[in-house]
């Protein structure tokens, strides 16, 4: 069967819209909308979440995330520099660290830090410190690879120019190479921040007091009290309040870097 | 070959060898640059002339031989190379300005971080050098906003701001659009007139002929001949020099050399 280009385009477009219409119709007629409204969009339950879901849960999510991200970024930079070191043992250590923490689930790291370390060393670690360490240790593994790639993406001539002006290796790294590397990796680092925001929900494993609840834990507690799924939806929307602006920021940064090149 | 045995040589290179792996790029170089002298190094690509220049400030570590700067031996492992490099300015083919800094900050960062100059003094010296190269109106622009010719002049000003006793130029005009070459060469010519010691790797034969005190022709990792520009460019003694010069000065005259054997 031979079709003109116009006919083929029409047919293809027709099929695509047809599939979409079928899926929408199936959802509209197949779903029990009354139940869904009761389960997910209960206004009374929603109102009961406020203001604590913002003042406690959202704030805690942000605090846990920033603690983990800050520690992870610092450790990630150190690991990235170790990966690029001319001393082989440093490279091996960093590679081993990255492979390990990238490979094990964050869940296990939380459990190990929350229960394993206190038992093994007979110490009590502050809850916030535990979160910072657990999120940071995992985040650092990813960020180290990102930062290393960023440092290597800075043209070699930059280091040569800096050294030629009499800067030491370390000074040239700090003043010239690393600032440029961070500009290059800002978008992927922001992505890592978004991932950590969601991973911060694992903090529930440590056992939390009321004031330490973050969004996911807060939502699940409310779930038990209300026999409605609405709190989950509300908590989910609160995550979006954090991540959507970050996603927007990533796209803006990417557009800016693209223009600068 | 003229012999400048005087100890005040600005650059003295002796028995210099450089290999990258198995490949020997420099096969024993001896040469000297006297203070205030302008030496142009010419030669086909791959002849080792850029490597030689980069060995002079130890961006490339020589495999054997010595490089000395006004009596200080750079190749001595106990020499503080960062301290010696302050005395040598270098200008690269690809400019290598710092893209995250403004033009003025490009000129002041090393002055402040390396020489420990105060901000005000560094900026005063930076601005004076920007005026010298004719781009003072661009001091708050970023490198990406400048033309190639402006970038290269800023790069020269950046090197001059460290007040070096000697300037190295590594094909400074090779990455420029033809109409921008003149501005950069004019700055270099003025620098030469002011008495700066310069070692210039270049393909600009008119610059070499008019500005250089001495021209060095390199091929295959050795110095084939050197002397006054009127001699090396005007009346070359060696066949290799003549072949190279005819290709550079009259590229349209080159003839196609066909490979032997079947073409598929």
B133 alpha carbon, distance to own chain's centre: 17
Assess B97–A contact: CB distance below 8 Å, yes or no: yes
List the alpha helices (DSSP H) in B19-102: 49-56, 81-85
- The Cα–Cα gap between A218 and A210 comes to 9
Q: Is any Cβ of chain B less than 8 angstroms from the Cβ of A162?
A: yes
Give A156 to chain B, closest Cα distance, Å. 9
The distance of B116 to chain A (nearest Cα, Å) reads 12
Cα angle, residue B7 at apex, residues B1 and B12 outer, rounded to 5° = 55
Q: Supply the angle between the helices B103-113 and B119-133 in degrees, to the nearest 10.
A: 130
pTM for the full predicted model: 0.84
Instruction: List CB contacts of A136: < 8 A, sequence separation 6 or more.
Output: A67, A68, A69, A70, A71, A72, A75
- Best of A150, A158, A165, A258 to mutate (most B CBs within 10 Å, chain B): A165
Residue B1 binned pLDDT confidence (cut-offs 50, 70, 90): very low
Contacts of A180 in chain B (CB under 8 A): 98-100
Is pLDDT above 60 for B261? Answer: no
Nearest CA distance, B235 vs chain A (angstrom): 36
Residue environment code for A186-218, b if the CB has 16+ CB neighbours within 10 A, otherwise e: bbbbbbbbbbbbbbbbbbbbbebeeebbbbbbb
Q: How confident is the model at residue A203 (pLDDT cuts 50, 70, 90)?
A: confident
DSSP assignments along A216-234, one per residue: HHHHHHHHHHHS-SHHHHH
pLDDT band at B260 (very low <50, low <70, confident <90, very high): low
Which residues in A lie closer than 8 A to residue B114 (C-beta atoms)? 165-167, 171
3-state secondary structure of B183: helix
Chain B, 37 to 76: residues with Cβ < 8 Å from chain A are 57, 59
Q: Do A164 and B94 touch (CB under 8 A)?
A: no
- Give the chain A residue whose CA is nearest to the CA of B101: A176
Range from A21-30, A51-60, A227-236 that averages highest in pLDDT: A21-30
- Say whether residue B109 is in contact with chain A using an 8 A CB cutoff: yes
Over 90: is that where the pLDDT of A178 sits?
Answer: yes
pLDDT of residue A260: 54
What is the distance of C-alpha A14 from the center of its chain?
39
Put simply, the answer to whether B92 touches A180 (Cβ < 8 Å) is: no
Between positions 152 and 211 of B, the ones with CB within 8 A of A are: 158-159, 162
From chain B, the residues in CB contact with A158 under 8 A are: 96, 98
CB contact under 8 A, B113 and A180: no
Specify the DSSP element, H or E, that contains B225.
Answer: strand B222-227
Q: Is A55 on the interface with B (CB under 8 A)?
A: no
Mean pLDDT, rounded, for B74-87: 92
Touching check for A184 and chain B: CB below 8 Å? no
Angle, CA of A108, A109 and A110, to the nearest 5°? 90
Question: How much is the pLDDT for A254?
Answer: 77
- Tell me whether A260 touches chain B (CB under 8 Å): yes
Considering only the beta carbons, identify the residue of A157, A167, A260 that sits closest to B110.
A167
Give the pLDDT band of residue A98 (cuts 50, 70, 90). very high
pLDDT, tens digit (0-9, with 9 covering 90-100), for B206-258: 999 999 999 999 999 999 999 999 999 999 999 999 999 998 888 887 778 77
Which residues of A fall within a CB distance of 8 Å from B98? 158, 161-162, 176, 180
Residue A259 has pLDDT above 70, yes or no: no
Mean pLDDT of the region B90-94:
96
User: B225-251 burial, b for 16+ CB within 10 Å, e for fewer?
Assistant: bbbebeebbeebeeebbeebbeeeeee
Q: Does B128 touch chain A (CB under 8 A)?
A: no
Is residue A67 over pLDDT 80? yes
pLDDT at B2 over 50: no
End-to-end CA distance of chain B: 48
Preceding peptide of A39 cis, ω within 30°:
no
Nearest residue to B176 via CA among B155, B208, B150: B150
Q: How many residues does chain A have?
A: 261
Q: How far is CA B172 from the centre of its chain?
A: 7
Mark B153-190 as b/e (b = at least 16 C-beta within 10 Å): bbbbbbbbbbebebbbbbbbbeebeeebbebbbebbee
Is the per-residue pLDDT at B5 higher than 50? no
């Amino acid at each position: 069967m031979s079709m003109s280009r116009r006919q083929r385009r029409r047919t293809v477009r027709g099929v695509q819209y047809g599939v979409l219409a079928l899926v929408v119709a199936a959802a509209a007629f197949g779903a029990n909308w009354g139940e869904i409204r009761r389960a997910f969009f209960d206004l009374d339950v929603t109102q009961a979440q406020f203001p604590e879901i913002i003042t406690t849960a959202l704030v805690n999510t942000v605090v846990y995330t920033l603690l983990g991200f800050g520690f992870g970024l610092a450790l990630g930079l150190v690991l990235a520099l170790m990966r690029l070191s001319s001393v082989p043992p440093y490279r091996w250590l960093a590679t081993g660290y990255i492979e390990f923490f990238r490979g094990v689930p964050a869940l296990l790291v939380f459990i190990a830090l929350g229960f394993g370390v206190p038992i093994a060393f007979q110490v009590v670690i502050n809850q916030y410190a535990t979160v910072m360490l657990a999120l940071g240790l995992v985040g650092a593994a990813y960020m180290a690879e990102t930062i290393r790639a960023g440092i290597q993406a800075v043209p070699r001539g930059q280091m040569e120019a800096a050294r030629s002006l009499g800067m030491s290796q370390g000074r040239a790294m700090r003043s010239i190479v690393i600032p440029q590397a961070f500009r290059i990796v800002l978008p992927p680092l922001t992505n890592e921040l978004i991932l950590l925001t969601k991973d911060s929900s694992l903090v529930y494993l440590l056992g939390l007091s009321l004031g330490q609840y973050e969004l996911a834990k807060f939502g699940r507690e409310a779930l038990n009290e209300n026999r409605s799924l609405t709190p989950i939806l509300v908590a989910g929307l609160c995550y979006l309040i954090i991540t959507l602006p970050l996603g927007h920021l990533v796209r803006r940064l990417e557009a800016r870097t693209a223009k600068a090149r | 070959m003229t012999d400048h045995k005087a100890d005040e040589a600005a650059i003295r290179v002796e028995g210099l060898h450089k290999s990258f792996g198995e490949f020997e790029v420099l096969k024993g170089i001896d040469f000297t640059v006297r203070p205030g002298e302008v030496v142009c190094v010419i030669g086909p690509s791959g002849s080792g002339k850029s490597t030689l220049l980069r060995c002079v400030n130890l961006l490339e570590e020589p495999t054997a031989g010595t490089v000395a700067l006004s009596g200080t031996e750079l190749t001595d492992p106990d020499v503080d190379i960062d301290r010696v490099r302050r005395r040598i300015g270098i200008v690269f083919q690809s400019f290598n300005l710092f893209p995250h800094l403004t033009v003025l900050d490009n000129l002041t960062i090393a002055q402040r971080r390396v020489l420990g100059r105060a901000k005000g003094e560094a900026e005063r010296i930076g601005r004076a050098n920007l005026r010298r190269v004719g781009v003072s109106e661009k001091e708050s622009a970023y490198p990406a906003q400048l033309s190639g010719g402006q970038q290269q002049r800023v790069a020269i000003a950046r090197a001059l701001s460290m007040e070096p006793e000697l300037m190295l130029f590594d094909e400074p005009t090779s990455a420029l659009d033809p109409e921008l070459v003149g501005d950069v060469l004019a700055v270099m010519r003025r620098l030469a007139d002011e008495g700066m010691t310069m070692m210039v790797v270049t393909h600009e034969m008119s610059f070499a002929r008019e500005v250089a005190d001495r021209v060095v022709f390199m091929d295959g990792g050795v110095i084939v001949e050197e002397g006054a520009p009127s001699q090396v460019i005007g009346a070359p003694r060696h066949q290799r020099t003549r072949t190279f010069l005819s290709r550079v000065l009259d590229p349209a005259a080159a003839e196609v050399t066909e490979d032997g054997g079947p073409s598929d």
